Amino acid sequence: MRFMRALALLALVMLLSGAVLPAAARVEPSESIWITGGPADWQAGYSHGLLTAAGPLILSPHAQAAPVSLGKYNRYGLFDSPIRTLASFRRVQVDYSAHVPAGSELLVMVRASADGSRWTEWESAQPGAIISFDRVARYLQYRAALLGNDRSPVLNSVKLTPLPLTESDLQRNALEEPVAPTYRIRATRQGMVGSRTANGHVVRYMDRFVSLPSWRSLSSRGGGEYMVRLTNPMNGRSAIAPVWDVGPWNRHDDYWNEDREWYKDLPLGWPEDHAAFYWGYNGGYAEVSGKVLWAAAVDVGDGTWTEDLGIDFENEQATLLITFLWKGSDPGPDPEIQPGPPPRDYGDGAYYVDDLVAGFTLSKSVWFEVKCGHDRHAWWTYSTTDPAQSSHAAIWRPTLPKDGDYDVWVHVPYCVNWVPDSRDVRYEVHHHWGVDIVSVNQKAEAGRWVGLGRWHFKAGDAGFVRLADLAGDHGRSVWFDAIKWVPVP
């Protein structure tokens, strides 16, 4: 356990300090094309589950089964090449010779670094592809993932050709480093002690690492090239962990990237599994793991989950804040959260603000959440009659297209939490002419849309509705779900 914490800390220090890679991992600088293939080249890199001494790179007969998130394959192997030092480049052409029998799969990926410490994400490539990186680099590495059952894919050779720099490449390299982005997502505890991750790590008791649903951010075995900061909004505790696995539901869903590999129609920061679970996207299915039974955009090692973030071991799901540290500077344990996805258009002419989308904000308090309500999610807290004890509030702020009168409706979810619902919550409606307070009996209206009234709103986002835990009764549930603005013809 201490070893894992020390390993993660060492990786972070290397990541943030600009420490260079050990000499054993390097090859002398070269101006020429990089060609590899054959036992000497395969054995110079890191591999597991592969035969490296027989000529081409193939799966070992004794290779272990692939992690569940990678698909139903009986055998899985990974090869990471040595790091090559080259003349400066920003684009590289990828060519390789391979044979991929039916029922097997071969993935070839490349990444680059300017200093040998901070790396771009892995980019998948087909033969002949030209990969562009976001900065000028000098270090290059490729990775091959082989998956199969009875028959193995065969990788014969790899050829990487750096392309000449242009003036725009040099200008792009001068851009300032941004702050790493942070999103609010649902997470699960990893478990799986004794199993092997996608980078070859064997999961230990109280391990400290995470799984993300994309090959692009998979660190090397024991490495910290890709790290995330996780923050528990329930208690403010925060931890940094390396990315050592791919999953849980997808493997091509880099939802933190504007240039997303798959699911390009989804908003930035909105994971495919979340869209599938809450919105029915893709028929409710994920890429390789079937029907999405719960939203989970990151799997968290048991040690990080319980000891670092302070989540009970028996609680296998939670909402966390996740910061992708290779995307910029670390904002620390109190990051600015990126807005959720834009509100959905339900085709009825109304303007919705649900409790997981942009336009909805929660106060920084301890909240409870449930998988029910509008779009299968709602928040709740306990009511209080004492203004001095009131600490929870939420705001629904729509972006309306034009001035006009709107009917405002709130959705009161019908959810079981074994706490009686409040009979007197107070919605504050902030409209063009002022503020009105409307009382709603959530116990009587559970499971229904309730009309608050009709008001005039200006175009834009000046108007909003606010609901707090201050109510006409004490110790009951106050529910926070969807609100819609219906334009009056």
Q: Which phi-psi region, left, alpha or beta, contains residue 399 (left: φ > 0; alpha: ψ -120 to 50)?
A: beta
Lowest mean pLDDT among 82-91, 173-182, 189-198: 173-182
82-113 pLDDT, tens digit each: 999 988 999 999 999 999 999 999 999 999 99
Give the pLDDT score at 174.
64
Mean pLDDT of 54-62: 94
The mean pLDDT value for 33-52 works out to: 92
Q: Supply the pLDDT for residue 168.
A: 82
Query: Would residue 250 be called left, alpha or beta, if left means φ above 0 and alpha means ψ between -120 and 50 degrees?
Result: beta
* DSSP designation for 8: H
Query: In the predicted model, what is the mean pLDDT of residues 209-238?
Result: 96
The stretch 362-376 carries a mean pLDDT of 92
Please give the mean pLDDT across all residues of the chain. 91
Segment 332-355 mean pLDDT: 94
**Residue 301: per-residue pLDDT:** 98
Asked if residue 272 lies in contact with residue 213, where contact means CB atoms within 8 angstroms, the answer is: yes
Q: Assess whether pLDDT exceeds 80 at residue 187.
A: yes
Structural domains present in the chain: 21-173 (2.60.120), 182-327 (2.40.40.10), 351-487 (2.60.120.260)
* pTM for the full predicted model: 0.85
Main-chain phi, psi angles of 384, to 5 degrees: -140, 150
Q: Which two tokens stand for residue 426?
A: 């107070």
Contact by Cβ (8 Å): 263, 280: no
For residues 189-201, give the mean pLDDT. 95
Q: What percent of the chain has pLDDT over 90?
A: 84
- HSE on the CB side for 471, CA within 13 Å? 25
Whether 227 shows a pLDDT value over 60: the answer reads yes
The one-letter amino acid at 222? G
* 271: pLDDT strictly greater than 70: yes
pLDDT at 317: 94
Averaged pLDDT, 359-386: 95
Q: Are 139 and 85 in contact (CB under 8 A)?
A: yes
Which residues partner with 112 through β-bridges?
140
- φ, ψ for residue 474, nearest 5 deg: -115, 140
269 against 178, higher pLDDT: 269
Q: Which of 20-29, 76-85, 428-437 has the lowest mean pLDDT?
A: 20-29
Check residue 171 and give its pLDDT: 74
Q: Is the pLDDT at 1 greater than 70, yes or no? A: no
Pairing of strands 75-80, 46-48: antiparallel
Q: How far apart are CA 470 and CA 388, in angstroms?
A: 10
Give yes or no for residue 360 having a pLDDT over 60: yes
Does position 79 have pLDDT exceeding 50, yes or no? yes
Residue from 48, 57, 150 nearest 108 by CA: 57
pLDDT band of 154, cuts 50, 70, 90: very high
Q: What integer is the mean pLDDT of 426-452?
A: 98
Instruction: Please say whether the beta carbons of 481 and 373 come within 8 A.
Output: yes
Region 34-44: mean pLDDT is 91
- pLDDT band at residue 448 under the 50/70/90 scheme: very high
pLDDT in tens, 5-37: 443 433 433 333 333 333 334 333 445 688 888
175, pLDDT greater than 70: no
